[in-house]
């Protein structure tokens, strides 16, 4: 049998998600009877709205059919009404419904980039940006941001310095996963101007748009002139606590792009039909679901900040949006610490699971003493989870 690899460059080199890669250790810990508080993954625990669940079903005797490749027409129409209602000027032909924001990201990168083209994004970044770029044959060029100044967006000069003849787009996540940073209107206005000046597209991942705890949600489309360059990635996963519905969309007024991603969408036939029915139900009858969920996450954010402030040596910038926080811990290696939490530590039979920082960076050596905390638990378990982190930091042999 040949010993040479059957895999492509992509197959060999796509990184494992830092959010999921410790799962085997978690499983072993759970099998030993340890209770694990999961702060590693962005899976909210809020029940999906009844209006969603009631409509995401068919009576026996019906056919669970494909939908149109661009999405069910009533669902797209409901999306237009939804965006119009929140002040985002979007028409039906600006939207392609996708299988989650994940497929939206992959389609957009594939439509914009030839192999070897480049996309600029601030780091730390959502790790799947790296994987999707690799799948599209594109190279992610990262711009460092600093925990000391709340991971704020780098100045336009830094973006300009990273632009090469191969640069096709700038990719922002606002509010940011993993940092919890909310970019200011001024900072976004400057990036829009830069993108226009250099003929680049601006991909704005707004899947956490509503999750804002200081100020009001801000779409890139509200920046004057942005519509020429903006491509929005959106998702119902977090907004309606419906991650398993696999429902997202691409929004752009550049119809050349919508045309290209529509041809990709035809090849994959259809986004999930039941998910779209559910999404239609939620959009038609949203009730106070989103506002009460945001109020709940604001309380959790407050609890997280309050508990982290009690831990000596921990640096936690203010969490402004999404439900994540990149946090600096007094440890030699966050990779080792996160594995140790699952393998070697427990307090009264309990431990906590976190996502190690380096997987959110491309620059070697970055994020060594950082972890991403996803505050997706209710107040009491969240408090306990951060207290467990405190006990663990006292016991960890590699404490700095």
Ligand X SMILES: Cc1ncc(COP(=O)(O)O)c(C=O)c1O
The residues of the shown chain that bind ligand X, judged by CB under 6 A, are 42, 100-102, 126, 173, 177, 205, 207, 235, 237, 243, 248
Between CA 91 and CA 252 the distance in angstroms is: 9
Between CA 341 and CA 394 the distance in angstroms is: 12
CB-wise, 101 or 154, nearer to ligand X? 101
Instruction: Say which residue the tokens 């529509």 belong to.
Output: 262
Dig out the tokens for 339 from the structure: 């594995």
Q: Residue with the closest Cβ to ligand X?
A: 100
CB of 320 to ligand X, least distance (A): 15
CB-wise, 242 or 331, nearer to ligand X? 242
CB of 279 to ligand X, least distance (A): 11
CB-wise, 102 or 273, nearer to ligand X? 102
CB-wise, 301 or 384, nearer to ligand X? 301
CB-wise, 121 or 334, nearer to ligand X? 121
Return the half-sphere exposure (C-beta side, CA atoms, 13 A cut-off) of residue 140.
Answer: 27
CB of 197 to ligand X, least distance (A): 26
Question: Edge-to-edge, what's the strand order for the sheet holding 324-328?
Answer: 324-328, 370-374, 355-356
CB-wise, 268 or 310, nearer to ligand X? 268
CB of 129 to ligand X, least distance (A): 8
CB of 88 to ligand X, least distance (A): 18
CB of 73 to ligand X, least distance (A): 21
């Amino acid at each position: 049998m040949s010993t040479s690899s059957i895999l492509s460059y992509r197959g060999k080199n796509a990184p494992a998600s830092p959010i999921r890669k410790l799962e085997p250790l978690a499983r072993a810990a759970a099998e030993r009877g340890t209770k694990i508080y999961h702060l590693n993954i962005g899976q909210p625990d809020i029940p999906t709205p009844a209006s969603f669940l009631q409509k995401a079903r068919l009576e026996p005797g019906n056919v669970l059919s494909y939908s149109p490749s661009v999405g069910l027409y009533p669902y797209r129409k409901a999306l237009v009404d939804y965006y119009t209602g929140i002040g985002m000027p979007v028409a039906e032909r600006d939207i392609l419904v996708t299988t989650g924001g994940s497929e939206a990201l992959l389609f957009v990168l594939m439509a914009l980039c030839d192999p070897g083209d480049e996309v600029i994004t601030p780091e730390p970044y959502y790790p799947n940006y790296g994987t999707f770029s690799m799948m599209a044959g594109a190279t992610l060029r990262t711009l460092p941001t600093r925990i000391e100044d709340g991971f704020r967006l780098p100045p336009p000069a830094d973006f300009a310095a990273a632009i090469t003849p191969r640069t096709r787009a700038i990719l922002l996540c606002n509010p940011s996963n993993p940092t919890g940073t909310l970019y200011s209107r001024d900072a976004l206005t400057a990036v829009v101007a830069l993108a226009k000046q250099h003929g680049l597209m601006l991909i704005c991942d707004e899947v956490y748009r509503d999750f804002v705890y200081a100020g009001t949600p801000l779409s890139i489309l509200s920046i004057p002139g942005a519509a020429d360059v903006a491509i929005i990635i959106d998702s119902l996963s977090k907004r309606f606590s419906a991650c398993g519905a696999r429902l997202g969309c691409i929004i752009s007024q550049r119809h050349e792009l919508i045309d290209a991603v529509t041809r990709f969408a035809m090849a994959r036939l259809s986004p999930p039909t039941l998910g779209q029915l559910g999404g239609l139900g939620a959009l038609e009858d949203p009730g106070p679901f989103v506002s009460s969920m945001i109020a709940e996450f604001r309380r959790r954010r407050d609890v997280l900040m309050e508990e982290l402030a009690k831990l000596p040596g921990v640096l936690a910038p203010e969490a402004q949006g999404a439900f994540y926080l990149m946090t600096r811990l007094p440890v030699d290696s966050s990779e080792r610490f996160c594995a140790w939490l699952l393998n070697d530590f427990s307090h009264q039979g309990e431990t906590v699971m976190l996502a190690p920082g380096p997987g959110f960076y491309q620059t070697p050596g970055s994020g060594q003493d950082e972890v991403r905390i996803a505050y997706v638990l209710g107040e009491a378990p969240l408090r306990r989870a951060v207290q467990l982190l405190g006990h663990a930091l006292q016991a960890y042999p590699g404490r700095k």
